[in-house]
Amino acid sequence: MATKTTKRRKQPRRSNAERSATTRSKLIQAAIELLYEKGYSATTTISVAAKARVSRGAMLHQFPTRVKMLLSVADFIVKDHAQQRRGQLDPHGEGLPRFYAAADVSWSVHSRPSAIALLEIMMSTRSDKTLRKGFAPFLKLWADMRRSAAVRMAQSLGVPAEVDRIEVLISLHQTVMRGMSIELMFSNNLDDVEQMRQMQVHFERQFAEQMVAERDKKNATPLKVVKTS
């Protein structure tokens, strides 16, 4: 009895650009994992290539130096985090509901392994002059993003005159989030970290609610007193 033979469909041959993009993605993800698991000192081009199962030659083609690799990782993380924030915040509309949601969205980003990886790169700029010089544009980018976020939040809350105070609040928020991200690396008690976060959320909400209350009080129309004879 004759048996049927099935022909395998040939997969379309990928272009060089597609293969290069795949290799680059593998290397960046491997670098993030190593930075998170073992830190900056263990994240070399050799260790990243080995973890990504990519040849040394392919690694050097993508990232000729360790600094170029780390800066590319930082660029990927910053863009990915910004995209994640936008995607999670968009459903929450405007005003205080959006402000309330922003705290949880921010923590969901800062508690990821990629956030720790970025902190490892940031801290290493203290001892690596070449990396510090290459990292400078990120500091400028963050300042611009912080200002844009403050303007956006002030408009959303209906308090455009408070943009400077809101920018300070955002700076404080980011500093606290980074500190708690570091705490996560050493603390085995997630409840303690969450309690700290909830206290921070409480104070941030009070700050925003006070600004909105002051706005409403200022905009309130005074009642007219009708004199009767």
Residue 5 has pLDDT above 60, yes or no: no
Give which of 104, 69, 66, 65 is closest to 85, Cα–Cα. Answer: 104
Q: What global pTM score does this model have? A: 0.85
Query: How far is the C-alpha of 118 from the C-alpha of 32, rounded, in Å?
Result: 8
Least confident of 8-22, 58-72, 159-173: 8-22
Q: What pLDDT was estimated at residue 185?
A: 82
Confidence of residue 224 (pLDDT cuts 50, 70, 90): low
Q: What is the mean pLDDT of residues 30-36?
A: 97
| Cα radius of gyration rounded to whole Å, the chain | 25
Q: What pLDDT was estimated at residue 225?
A: 54
**Counting beta carbons within 10 angstroms of the beta carbon of residue 69, is it exposed (0 to 12), middle (13 to 18) or buried (19 or more)?**
buried
Query: How far is the C-alpha of 55 from the C-alpha of 92, rounded, in Å?
Result: 45
Task: Please give the residue that has the higher pLDDT: either 223 or 16.
Answer: 16
Share of the chain above pLDDT 90, in %: 79
Q: What is the mean pLDDT of residues 148-174?
A: 96
Residue 39 has pLDDT above 50, yes or no: yes
Q: What pLDDT was estimated at residue 188?
A: 72
Q: Average pLDDT over the chain, rounded to whole?
A: 90
Q: What does the pLDDT look like over 56-84, one tens digit per residue?
A: 999 999 999 999 999 999 999 999 999 99
Contact predicate 71/135, CB 8 Å: yes
- Which residue's structure tokens are 């000192």? 41
Residue 4 has pLDDT above 60, yes or no: no
Give which of 44, 176, 200, 199 is closest to 111, Cα–Cα. Answer: 176
What domains appear along the chain, each with residue ranges and CATH number?
74-217 (1.10.357)
Residue 177 has pLDDT above 90, yes or no: yes
Query: How far is the C-alpha of 170 from the C-alpha of 166, rounded, in Å?
Result: 6
Query: How far is the C-alpha of 66 from the C-alpha of 40, rounded, in Å?
Result: 11
Confidence of residue 17 (pLDDT cuts 50, 70, 90): confident
Residue 203 has pLDDT above 90, yes or no: yes
Contact predicate 209/96, CB 8 Å: yes
- 16 vs 19, 23, 165, 215, CA distance in Å? 5, 11, 50, 57
Confidence of residue 1 (pLDDT cuts 50, 70, 90): very low
Q: What does the pLDDT look like over 112-159, one tens digit per residue?
A: 999 999 999 999 999 999 999 999 999 999 999 999 999 999 999 999
Query: How far is the C-alpha of 163 from the C-alpha of 155, rounded, in Å?
Result: 8
